[in-house]
Amino acid sequence: MKQVNAKRKVNFLLPYLCHNMRLLDFGCGDMTFAKELKKTLPALKITGVDVLDFGKRYKDILYKRYDGHVLPFGNGAFDAVVSWHVFHHTTEPFALMRECMRVAKNSIYIVEPTFRGWWDIPGMCFMDWLFNVWKDRSISMSYRFASKDDWKREIARLGWTSEQTIDVELLPKWLPTGRSILFVCRKKKSFSGHKVHAS
Protein backbone atom coordinates (compact mmCIF):
# COMPACT_ATOMS: atom_id res chain seq x y z
CA MET A 1 0.00 0.00 0.00
CA LYS A 2 2.83 2.41 0.88
CA GLN A 3 4.51 1.65 -2.44
CA VAL A 4 1.30 2.30 -4.39
CA ASN A 5 0.85 5.62 -2.58
CA ALA A 6 4.48 6.57 -3.29
CA LYS A 7 4.05 5.82 -7.00
CA ARG A 8 0.92 7.97 -7.07
CA LYS A 9 2.82 10.89 -5.52
CA VAL A 10 5.67 10.51 -8.00
CA ASN A 11 3.24 10.50 -10.94
CA PHE A 12 1.78 13.84 -9.82
CA LEU A 13 5.23 15.43 -9.49
CA LEU A 14 7.01 13.96 -12.53
CA PRO A 15 5.96 16.74 -14.95
CA TYR A 16 7.85 19.27 -12.78
CA LEU A 17 11.09 17.41 -12.04
CA CYS A 18 14.30 17.45 -14.07
CA HIS A 19 16.25 14.20 -14.12
CA ASN A 20 19.44 15.52 -12.46
CA MET A 21 18.14 18.21 -10.08
CA ARG A 22 19.15 18.55 -6.43
CA LEU A 23 15.96 17.79 -4.53
CA LEU A 24 15.04 18.08 -0.85
CA ASP A 25 12.25 15.81 0.44
CA PHE A 26 10.99 17.85 3.40
CA GLY A 27 9.38 15.60 6.01
CA CYS A 28 10.71 12.46 4.33
CA GLY A 29 9.42 10.02 6.98
CA ASP A 30 10.54 6.46 6.21
CA MET A 31 11.82 7.64 2.79
CA THR A 32 9.45 5.43 0.77
CA PHE A 33 8.56 8.43 -1.42
CA ALA A 34 12.24 9.40 -1.92
CA LYS A 35 13.09 5.80 -2.82
CA GLU A 36 10.34 5.74 -5.47
CA LEU A 37 11.51 9.09 -6.87
CA LYS A 38 15.06 7.79 -7.16
CA LYS A 39 13.84 4.61 -8.83
CA THR A 40 11.90 6.66 -11.41
CA LEU A 41 14.56 9.33 -11.94
CA PRO A 42 17.91 7.73 -10.99
CA ALA A 43 19.95 10.88 -11.66
CA LEU A 44 18.07 12.90 -9.02
CA LYS A 45 20.27 14.02 -6.14
CA ILE A 46 17.83 13.51 -3.25
CA THR A 47 18.22 14.51 0.38
CA GLY A 48 15.56 13.62 2.92
CA VAL A 49 15.06 15.67 6.07
CA ASP A 50 12.80 15.05 9.05
CA VAL A 51 12.50 15.59 12.80
CA LEU A 52 12.06 11.82 13.19
CA ASP A 53 14.49 9.10 12.21
CA PHE A 54 12.69 5.98 10.98
CA GLY A 55 16.04 4.23 10.62
CA LYS A 56 15.61 3.59 6.88
CA ARG A 57 18.52 4.29 4.56
CA TYR A 58 18.75 3.82 0.82
CA LYS A 59 21.68 3.89 -1.56
CA ASP A 60 22.39 7.32 -3.11
CA ILE A 61 19.73 9.06 -0.95
CA LEU A 62 21.06 11.26 1.86
CA TYR A 63 19.22 11.62 5.16
CA LYS A 64 19.51 14.50 7.62
CA ARG A 65 17.68 14.96 10.90
CA TYR A 66 16.85 18.51 11.98
CA ASP A 67 15.48 20.36 15.00
CA GLY A 68 12.08 21.28 13.55
CA HIS A 69 12.96 24.97 13.25
CA VAL A 70 16.00 25.67 11.05
CA LEU A 71 16.93 23.44 8.12
CA PRO A 72 20.63 22.49 8.27
CA PHE A 73 21.38 23.67 4.73
CA GLY A 74 22.61 26.88 3.15
CA ASN A 75 20.54 29.30 1.09
CA GLY A 76 19.62 27.88 -2.34
CA ALA A 77 21.19 24.51 -1.55
CA PHE A 78 18.57 22.67 -3.62
CA ASP A 79 17.03 23.24 -7.03
CA ALA A 80 13.64 22.31 -5.59
CA VAL A 81 11.89 21.18 -2.41
CA VAL A 82 8.99 18.74 -2.26
CA SER A 83 6.68 18.29 0.72
CA TRP A 84 3.67 15.96 0.83
CA HIS A 85 1.23 16.32 3.75
CA VAL A 86 3.86 17.60 6.20
CA PHE A 87 3.24 21.22 7.20
CA HIS A 88 -0.05 20.61 9.03
CA HIS A 89 1.86 18.31 11.41
CA THR A 90 4.03 21.23 12.57
CA THR A 91 3.28 24.00 15.06
CA GLU A 92 4.41 26.77 12.69
CA PRO A 93 3.69 25.63 9.13
CA PHE A 94 4.25 29.00 7.44
CA ALA A 95 7.55 29.59 9.27
CA LEU A 96 8.77 26.21 8.07
CA MET A 97 7.56 26.95 4.56
CA ARG A 98 9.80 30.03 4.67
CA GLU A 99 12.71 27.77 5.63
CA CYS A 100 11.95 25.57 2.62
CA MET A 101 11.90 28.68 0.44
CA ARG A 102 15.26 29.73 1.83
CA VAL A 103 16.98 26.49 0.82
CA ALA A 104 15.19 26.22 -2.55
CA LYS A 105 16.88 27.81 -5.54
CA ASN A 106 13.88 27.85 -7.86
CA SER A 107 10.82 25.81 -6.95
CA ILE A 108 8.78 24.25 -4.17
CA TYR A 109 6.07 21.64 -4.62
CA ILE A 110 3.75 21.54 -1.62
CA VAL A 111 0.84 19.15 -1.19
CA GLU A 112 -1.36 20.04 1.77
CA PRO A 113 -4.90 19.13 2.89
CA THR A 114 -6.99 22.29 2.77
CA PHE A 115 -10.43 23.06 4.17
CA ARG A 116 -13.24 24.65 2.19
CA GLY A 117 -15.18 25.66 5.31
CA TRP A 118 -15.44 24.85 9.02
CA TRP A 119 -17.47 21.71 8.20
CA ASP A 120 -14.37 20.05 6.66
CA ILE A 121 -12.15 20.33 9.74
CA PRO A 122 -13.55 17.50 11.95
CA GLY A 123 -13.34 15.06 9.03
CA MET A 124 -9.82 16.24 8.17
CA CYS A 125 -8.69 15.67 11.75
CA PHE A 126 -10.17 12.17 11.75
CA MET A 127 -8.60 11.22 8.41
CA ASP A 128 -5.22 12.61 9.48
CA TRP A 129 -5.34 10.54 12.68
CA LEU A 130 -6.44 7.44 10.75
CA PHE A 131 -3.56 7.65 8.26
CA ASN A 132 -0.92 8.17 10.95
CA VAL A 133 -1.97 6.21 14.04
CA TRP A 134 -0.49 2.93 12.74
CA LYS A 135 3.01 4.27 12.00
CA ASP A 136 5.97 2.97 13.99
CA ARG A 137 6.98 6.46 15.14
CA SER A 138 4.88 9.01 17.02
CA ILE A 139 3.84 11.63 14.44
CA SER A 140 3.03 15.12 15.73
CA MET A 141 -0.72 15.66 15.31
CA SER A 142 -1.09 19.43 15.56
CA TYR A 143 -3.84 19.61 12.90
CA ARG A 144 -2.64 23.01 11.64
CA PHE A 145 -4.91 23.06 8.60
CA ALA A 146 -5.41 26.11 6.39
CA SER A 147 -7.56 26.95 3.39
CA LYS A 148 -6.32 27.04 -0.19
CA ASP A 149 -6.56 30.86 -0.14
CA ASP A 150 -4.57 31.01 3.13
CA TRP A 151 -1.73 29.08 1.49
CA LYS A 152 -1.79 31.23 -1.65
CA ARG A 153 -1.73 34.45 0.41
CA GLU A 154 1.20 33.26 2.50
CA ILE A 155 3.16 32.06 -0.53
CA ALA A 156 2.70 35.50 -2.14
CA ARG A 157 3.58 37.31 1.12
CA LEU A 158 6.88 35.43 1.26
CA GLY A 159 7.83 36.60 -2.22
CA TRP A 160 6.90 33.53 -4.25
CA THR A 161 4.14 32.73 -6.73
CA SER A 162 1.71 29.82 -6.65
CA GLU A 163 2.00 29.19 -10.38
CA GLN A 164 -0.51 26.32 -10.29
CA THR A 165 -2.88 24.81 -7.74
CA ILE A 166 -4.00 21.29 -8.59
CA ASP A 167 -6.53 19.13 -6.73
CA VAL A 168 -4.84 15.78 -6.04
CA GLU A 169 -7.40 14.46 -3.54
CA LEU A 170 -8.54 10.85 -3.96
CA LEU A 171 -11.76 11.09 -1.92
CA PRO A 172 -15.03 12.37 -3.51
CA LYS A 173 -15.66 16.11 -3.33
CA TRP A 174 -18.94 15.67 -1.45
CA LEU A 175 -17.18 14.22 1.60
CA PRO A 176 -16.49 16.84 4.34
CA THR A 177 -12.80 15.93 4.55
CA GLY A 178 -11.18 18.85 2.70
CA ARG A 179 -9.13 18.68 -0.48
CA SER A 180 -5.44 17.90 -0.96
CA ILE A 181 -3.95 20.61 -3.14
CA LEU A 182 -0.62 20.62 -4.99
CA PHE A 183 0.86 24.14 -4.91
CA VAL A 184 3.47 24.64 -7.62
CA CYS A 185 5.53 27.53 -6.22
CA ARG A 186 8.20 29.55 -8.00
CA LYS A 187 10.60 32.11 -6.60
CA LYS A 188 10.18 35.69 -7.80
CA LYS A 189 13.40 37.06 -9.23
CA SER A 190 13.52 39.98 -6.78
CA PHE A 191 13.09 37.82 -3.65
CA SER A 192 16.02 37.16 -1.33
CA GLY A 193 15.56 35.15 1.86
CA HIS A 194 17.30 35.52 5.21
CA LYS A 195 20.92 34.40 5.11
CA VAL A 196 21.40 31.30 7.25
CA HIS A 197 24.56 29.23 7.11
CA ALA A 198 24.51 25.46 6.99
CA SER A 199 25.40 23.72 10.23
Q: Nearest Cα to 97, choosing from 170, 43, 20, 156? A: 156
Does 190 map to a domain? no
Does 160 map to a domain? yes
Q: Please say if the pLDDT value at position 193 is more than 70.
A: no
Q: Please say if the pLDDT value at position 18 is more than 60.
A: yes
Does 100 map to a domain? yes
Query: Higher-confidence residue: 141 or 113?
Result: 113
Instruction: Give the structural domain span for 115.
Output: 2-185
Does 194 map to a domain? no
Average pLDDT over residues 24-51: 95
CATH number of the domain enclosing 114: 3.40.50.150
CB count, 10 Å around CB of 167?
11
pLDDT of 198 reads 42
Q: Which residues touch 174 (CB under 8 Å, ≥6 apart)?
A: none
Per the structure, the count of domains in the chain is 1
* CA geometry: angle 89, 31, 138, nearest 5 deg: 40
* CA geometry: angle 43, 49, 54, nearest 5 deg: 105
- Whether pTM > 0.85 for this model: the answer is yes
Does 32 map to a domain? yes
Does 66 map to a domain? yes
pLDDT of 1 reads 64
